[in-house]
Every structure is written in structure tokens, then in C-alpha cells.
């Protein structure tokens, strides 16, 4: 039978198809949806004049078809979550609150999850380039949307391990305990590239981290979380993970052409504050590894621990901004306005892009006055905060 000629033939001319009641009844759904052949439809039509049970069911199913509607692809605004939860918690104060230092992680993981919910199967395999700044150069690693989420899963796993939760890496051996080795080990462990199946364990773990952090209350905020070669106290580690979540959410959003906003100003401020607090250590590490010759950052002055030292004023503009005095000579020194030798002005999101390795230090749009070498050194240190 040719579909074309059948479709053009008026229904009454179709030779009657003889079907038993059982088959005709089973066709009612397809008939209601206009998803059977014209011959079958005609047979059902004829049958409805003879069979009371089918005649009763048929119009019900036709009416049900009218109720099928495409789900509205109305994106849930992330700001609604913040507003609704704040409203709830105001009406009934929680006995076990989410600690303030865990709030950015809670919010950023929820934002990324909302994005992941909206993307299709194929988009999970869209290419993503993870970038960071190492040894004065931009380094990068190719992966996919699912690979980036897997990266978040196993590095968040460092916090999970510190809190006594299961390690998402499981039995997979990693060459070293740090973020990059764990990620490479996870990616290598499967012959197949990661798929959207990685979303559920990532989300379950992020919920578990927030829940467990809540139970530790204020007391365990200082618990050390090991990143292999370095460690951060729990409250800073979760802030770091919130920052990474946002950075990779932007990578993912870019890969699938979705818009993505920066974090809430209060959360952005905490992330910038963490970066500012980490800078003196990075400066010290750069000094240690610098080749012989004039030390980076200009002539160094020896400063006693806890004493004020040469400082750079980091002024961050925009929502979440503020001012930080970065001690230049020693992580043990205290930033001091009297000893300010340089002043840098940067937009908050631009500073975060720099710290994420997305902007090269010499390309960062920064207003600068004072000691050029000190400024270059601090901007390079900020870029040096980035990693895989």
C-alpha cells in the first residue's frame, strides 16, 4: 500500500479492514492520536457504531489528547531560590542553619544544576576547554560538558574526604592526591567519555557537603582540607569550590551558548576576599622559585611576622567589590596603608577571570599607580591561583 494514495483517498472509499475486537480496542489510543493507518482508522470508526464499550472510551481518549501540552520551557530563575529560601528561613528560623561560609557553594551548585537540567543529551558532549595559568603561560585541557562536571565531582571529593564522606574517585588510583591528578585519573578510568549520568552523583555529593557542613556548625570551619601539596581550612575550601563551580559553569554555559550571570554580590565578595588572602602565599612561592637576579616585586624589605610591611592596595570595583591591602614581602606581614607602594583598580568579575586563568595578567584591564614591578607581581600571582 502506498501511504500517499491512501492519504488522498476519502475515508469512505477505503476497503473495510476486518479486525477482531481485541485489536480494534487496542488501536483506540493510536486512533485518538491519529497515529494509525487510514484503513485502521476507518475500521475503528465503523466499530464504534457497533461496540458500546469502545464508543464510550474513544471520546475520552480524544479529549485526553487535547490535554497533552508541551512542557513550558520556562527557566526557573536562580534568584527565586534565594528569595524563597530566605523567606522560609525568616518565617521559621532553622535550628541547623547552613553556615554562612557554605552559602556560596550551596548557591553556585544550585545555579549550575539548573543549567544542567536544561541542556539536552547531545550538549553534554559539547567540547569545553578548561584553562589555567601556569609558569607564565595559559595552559588548557580539552574535555566536554560532562567531563567538566566530572572534574567538579572529583575535586569536590577532596572536601568530601576531609568530612568523612565517601571519595567519588572510589578505588580508582590517582598518581597524586591533588585536583589535576584526580581529574586525569577519573577521566582515564573509563573507556567511554563521561555522560549526563555524572550529574546525579555530583549533585548528591554537593548536597551531602552542604548538609555535613551544616552539622559541623561553626566549629569545624577550620578543619583542614588537603589538596595534596597544600591545604585550606574547610570554610575556605568550600568557598574555593564555589568559585570553581562558577568558573566551570561559565565554561559549560559558553559551550552550550547559554547566558550565565556572576554570583550574588555578597558571594562574589567572599570569593574575592579568599583570593586576596591567598595572594601573599603565592607571592612568597613565586619568590622562592624565582631565578637568581633581581627579586620580583621590587626590592624586598625584611619584615617581622605580624608587623606592617610594604603593601599593594587592591581596589575591586562593582558589585561584591571592596579594598584589600596585600602585604608584598611576607605572608606573615600585615597589610598597611602607611606602607602602600602601589594601587591597582579592577572590576570584580575581571579580577575573578584573572584568578581563574581566563585573562592573562598583562591583559587584565586594571588601573595602576605606583610600583610597576609590585603590580606585575601581584597580577601574576592572582593568575597563578588558577589551576586545573
Partner 1 sequence: MATKDTPLRRDRRTQQRLARGEAAALGEVYDRYASLVHGLAYRVLGDERAADTVTREVFVHVWEHPDRYDPNQGPLRTWIAALTHRLAVRELRDTGTAALERGGPGTAADLEQRVRRASVAARADYIVQSMPAPLRLALERAYFQRRDYRRTAADLGITEEEARRRLRLGLQLLATAQDAADPGAPPGQGGAA
For partner 1, the binding residues (CB under 8 A) are: 25-30, 32-33, 35-37, 57, 60-61, 63-65, 67-72, 74, 76-77, 80-81, 83-85, 87-89, 91-98, 106, 110, 113, 117, 165-166, 203-205, 207-208, 210-211, 214
CB–CB of 328/374 below 8 Å? yes
d(C-alpha 168, C-alpha 205), whole Å: 8
Q: What residues does 140 pair with on adjacent strands? A: 131
Please report how close the Cβ of residue 19 comes to partner 1 at its closest, in angstroms.
11
d(C-alpha 151, C-alpha 180), whole Å: 9
Spatial neighbors of 295 by CB under 8 A, at least 6 apart, are 287
To which residue does cell 551558548 refer?
Answer: 257
Please report how close the Cβ of residue 13 comes to partner 1 at its closest, in angstroms.
20
Find, among 68, 8, 78, the residue nearest to 33 by Cα.
68
Residue 47 C-alpha cell reads as 466499530
d(C-alpha 184, C-alpha 188), whole Å: 6
Please report how close the Cβ of residue 88 comes to partner 1 at its closest, in angstroms.
4
Nearer to partner 1, 201 or 228 (CB): 201
Alpha-carbon distance values, 121 to 147, 249, 256, 286 (Å):
14, 17, 11, 43
Nearer to partner 1, 30 or 345 (CB): 30
Nearer to partner 1, 127 or 217 (CB): 217
Rg over CA atoms, the chain: 30
Please report how close the Cβ of residue 79 comes to partner 1 at its closest, in angstroms.
10
Nearer to partner 1, 87 or 137 (CB): 87
d(C-alpha 139, C-alpha 145), whole Å: 18
Sign (positive or negative) of CA dihedral 82, 85, 90, 93:
negative
Please report how close the Cβ of residue 232 comes to partner 1 at its closest, in angstroms.
21
Nearer to partner 1, 216 or 336 (CB): 216
**Phi-psi bin for 286: left (phi > 0), alpha (psi -120 to 50), beta?**
alpha
Please report how close the Cβ of residue 39 comes to partner 1 at its closest, in angstroms.
12
Please report how close the Cβ of residue 139 comes to partner 1 at its closest, in angstroms.
34
d(C-alpha 16, C-alpha 31), whole Å: 16
Nearer to partner 1, 91 or 142 (CB): 91
Nearer to partner 1, 106 or 329 (CB): 106
Amino acid at each position: 500500500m502506498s501511504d500517499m494514495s491512501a492519504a488522498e483517498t476519502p475515508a469512505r472509499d477505503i476497503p473495510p479492514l476486518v479486525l477482531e475486537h481485541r485489536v480494534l480496542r487496542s488501536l483506540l489510543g493510536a486512533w485518538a492520536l491519529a497515529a494509525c493507518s487510514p484503513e485502521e482508522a476507518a475500521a475503528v470508526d465503523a466499530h464504534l457504531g457497533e461496540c458500546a464499550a469502545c464508543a464510550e472510551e474513544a471520546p475520552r481518549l480524544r479529549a485526553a489528547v487535547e490535554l497533552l501540552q508541551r512542557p513550558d520551557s520556562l527557566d526557573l530563575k536562580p534568584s527565586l531560590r534565594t528569595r524563597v529560601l530566605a523567606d522560609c528561613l525568616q518565617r521559621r528560623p532553622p535550628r541547623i542553619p547552613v553556615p554562612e561560609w557554605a552559602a556560596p557553594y550551596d548557591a553556585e551548585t544550585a545555579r549550575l544544576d539548573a543549567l544542567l537540567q536544561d541542556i539536552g543529551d547531545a550538549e553534554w558532549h559539547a567540547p569545553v576547554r578548561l584553562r589555567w595559568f601556569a609558569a607564565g603561560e595559559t595552559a588548557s585541557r580539552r574535555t566536554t560538558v560532562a567531563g567538566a562536571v566530572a572534574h567538579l565531582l572529583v575535586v569536590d571529593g577532596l572536601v568530601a574526604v576531609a568530612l568523612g564522606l565517601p571519595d567519588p574517585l572510589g578505588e580508582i588510583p590517582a598518581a597524586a592526591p591533588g585536583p589535576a591528578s584526580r581529574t586525569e585519573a577519573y577521566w582515564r578510568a573509563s573507556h567511554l567519555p563521561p555522560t549526563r549520568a555524572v550529574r546525579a552523583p555530583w549533585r548528591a555529593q554537593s548536597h551531602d557537603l552542604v548538609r555535613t557542613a551544616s552539622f559541623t556548625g561553626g566549629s569545624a570551619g577550620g578543619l583542614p582540607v588537603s589538596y595534596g601539596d597544600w591545604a585550606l581550612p574547610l570554610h575556605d575550601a568550600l568557598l574555593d569550590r564555589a568559585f570553581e563551580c562558577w568558573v566551570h559553569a561559565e565554561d559549560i554555559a559558553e559551550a552550550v551558548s547559554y547566558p550565565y550571570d556572576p554570583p550574588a554580590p555578597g558571594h562574589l565578595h567572599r570569593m574575592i576576599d579568599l583570593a586576596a588572602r591567598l595572594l601573599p602565599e603565592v607571592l612568597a612561592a613565586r619568590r622562592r622559585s624565582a631565578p637568581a637576579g633581581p627579586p620580583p616585586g621590587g626590592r624586598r624589605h625584611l619584615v617581622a611576622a605580624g608587623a606592617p610591611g610594604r603593601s599593594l592596595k587592591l581596589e575591586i570595583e562593582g558589585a561584591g567589590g571592596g579594598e584589600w591591602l596585600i602585604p608584598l614581602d611576607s605572608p606573615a606581614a600585615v597589610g598597611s596603608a602607611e606602607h602602600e607602594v602601589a594601587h591597582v583598580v579592577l572590576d570584580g568579575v575581571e579580577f575573578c577571570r584573572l584568578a581563574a586563568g581566563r585573562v592573562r595578567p598583562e591583559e587584565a584591564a586594571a588601573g595602576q599607580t605606583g610600583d610597576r614591578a609590585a603590580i606585575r607581581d601581584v597580577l601574576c600571582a592572582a593568575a597563578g591561583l588558577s589551576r586545573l
